[in-house]
Amino acid sequence: MLAATIDAQFDQRLKELAEWLKIPSISALPQHRDDVYKAGEWARAYLENMGFAHTAFVETEGLPVVYAEHCPYPDKPTLLFYGHVDVQPADPLELWQSPPFEATIRDGKLFARGANDDKGQCMVWLGALQALKAVHGNFPVNIKVVLESEEEIGGHSIETYVKAHAEQLKCDAVVVCDTSMYSPEHPSICTSLRGIVYNEVIVRGGKTDMHSGMYGGVAPNPLHALALLIGRLKDEDGKIQIPELLAAVPDATADEVAFWDKDPVGFAAGLLGDMATTQLYGENEHSAYARTGLRPTLEVHGIVGGFMGEGSKTVIPAEAKAKMSLRLPPGMAPQPALEAFKNAVAAHMPHGYAVEVKNLGMGAGMMTDWNNPFMLTARKAMASVYGKEPVPMRMGGSVPVCAVFDSVLMVPVLLVGFGLPDDDLHAPNEKYSLDQLKKGMNTLALFMDELGR
């Protein structure tokens, strides 16, 4: 009954999604501020028309949050669905095959800015709720919704909002559809995100830049020292020399290890193709899956110092800087990681130099138990729709709001997204598979139906 209802309603859901996608809610561009509000109001009105008992447009210190709830059952679980109404800029426009804010279907895929990230993914659970209401006359569980408006510019207000409204947001589980799976043939559910610590390292030598003819051979050179430091923090085999980070790596499940060993999706080969390189660099004793989703990383993003203009200038710089990030093992808090990094810098810094570590930002990761009751129900629903048991997926990036939900609400955060790796998020010709959209609706409808029994 649910599947037939989703089929019958699908064209209407696509029409509604196209209306939403038509709104260029680009949070990064001030000239589209009104459009961000318009996209939020579209969502609020949609939820109200669907039958939510309470909807609100909540102002924050930044862009607003849309909140809705429908909680008529004191004896049934409460799910909190999260998404965002803002999108990335569409530049460069000339690379789009169709206008970015006019939803276009080609080859079974919906093309538009926000088709996946995140309006299309939100329509997964909105469509599931519409089908459930049509079949049962109401939602089978209590539902709360939080839609933010500045995820694409860092989500600066959402943490404050969640902390200030923690009592209102109380729930039994959070569901986020802002992620992807390996492939339609290999359904997966994300179980963890890595945290991040972003630093600037400043190395100082002499009091001023010096002439290499007069001082070369005796003067400290911060560029040399910085290069040595970087090489000591991560060796030539790619292993990070910060024991605390290595000790924090959680164990992979047996299902994960078996999947990684077989690599049926060609993950490692795909990475080589993406990078146009002939080999993967780093800890070769670990799989590409573990290295990109489970283990810590230390990456250098830029180095400045000395003279790099046209011509020559034989200066020994007084100062050199590097920007570096740490991706943290899931579950490791960022503050201890920052302290461990500072200690490692102090331990590995060549003698005779002053060094300063400036933290430029950090965010926590998170983990969800693969066998918690809500995850088990989601796995069962996905297996029913896709015809095979999903595998756990580790995502190497950070979604800060998930860590906020995890730490503030202290409930499981389910990252059940239906995007695919080639959906071109943030790029021209962003797209979303219509088959994935429909399968997502069926999965979440079964998930909620089972929870409501």
How far apart CA 374 and CA 387 sit, in angstroms, is 19
- Residue 382, CA atoms < 13 Å, CB-side half-sphere: 26
The pLDDT of 304-322, averaged and rounded, is 96
Distance of CA 232 to the CA centre of its chain: 30
Q: Which of 234, 203, 150, 394 is nearest to 316 (CA)?
A: 203
State pTM to two decimals. 0.91
Q: What is the pLDDT of residues 64-121, one digit of tens each?
A: 999 999 999 999 999 999 999 999 999 999 999 999 999 999 999 999 999 999 999 9
**pLDDT at res. 124:** 99
DSSP one-letter code for 164 = H
Check: CB of residue 17 under 8 Å from CB of residue 103.
yes
In angstroms, what CA-CA distances link 87 with 39, 150, 289, 436? 10, 9, 28, 20
DSSP one-letter code for 137 = S
**pLDDT at res. 447:** 99
The pLDDT of 409-435, averaged and rounded, is 97
For residue 150, give both structure tokens.
Answer: 């500045």
Q: What is the pLDDT of residues 242-274, one digit of tens each?
A: 999 999 999 998 889 999 999 999 999 999 999
**pLDDT at res. 303:** 98
Domains and CATH numbers, the chain: 2-193+365-451 (3.40.630.10), 195-249+296-363 (3.30.70.360)
**pLDDT at res. 50:** 98
**Beta strands across the sheet bearing 431-433:** 104-106, 109-111, 431-433
CB atoms within 10 A of CB 433: 22
The pLDDT of 197-225, averaged and rounded, is 97
Looking up tokens 């994960």 gives: 256
H/E stretch holding 109: strand 109-111
Distance of CA 155 to the CA centre of its chain: 12
- The model's confidence at residue 398, banded by pLDDT at 50, 70 and 90, is confident
- The model's confidence at residue 400, banded by pLDDT at 50, 70 and 90, is confident
Residue 448 pLDDT exceeds 90: yes
Could you give the 3-state DSSP secondary structure of residue 433? Answer: strand
- Chain mean pLDDT for the chain: 97
Residue 346 pLDDT exceeds 90: yes
Sign of CA dihedral 382, 388, 391, 395: negative
**pLDDT at res. 399:** 82
Sign of CA dihedral 405, 443, 19, 29: positive
